């Protein structure tokens, strides 16, 4: 559990350096689809990065997306809504 929190904080700082905000789902019901999942938000344009079907992201997805070159993000499975 501690390693996930450290990783989450590291990814939060990484997102902040790119002008983004990493938001964790506020669901408390562990049976909910978005429990423990994340969204990447660009607050200046109020844009959310998500999968094509609108699902939330895992920490692995967030890390992959944040470490991808911004020019290549357009071809990733994530889209900006």
The whole-number mean pLDDT for each consecutive block of 10 residues of the chain, a chain of 81 residues, reads: 87 93 85 82 75 71 86 62 46
> Whose structure tokens read 């993000």?
73
Cβ–Cβ < 8 Å for 78, 39:
no
Quote the CA–CA distance of 77 and 81 in Å, as a whole number: 13
49 and 78 Cβ atoms separated by less than 8 Å: yes
What distance in Å separates the CA atoms of residue 45 and residue 64, rounded to the nearest whole number?
22
Does the pTM of the predicted model rise above 0.85?
Answer: no
């Amino acid at each position: 559990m501690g390693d996930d929190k450290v990783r989450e904080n590291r990814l939060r700082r990484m997102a902040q350096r790119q002008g983004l905000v990493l938001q964790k789902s506020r669901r408390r019901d562990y049976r909910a689809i978005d429990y423990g999942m994340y969204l990447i938000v660009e607050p200046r344009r109020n844009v959310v990065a998500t999968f094509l079907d609108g699902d939330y992201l895992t920490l692995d997805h967030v890390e992959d997306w944040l470490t991808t070159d911004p020019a290549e993000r357009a071809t990733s499975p994530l889209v900006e809504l």
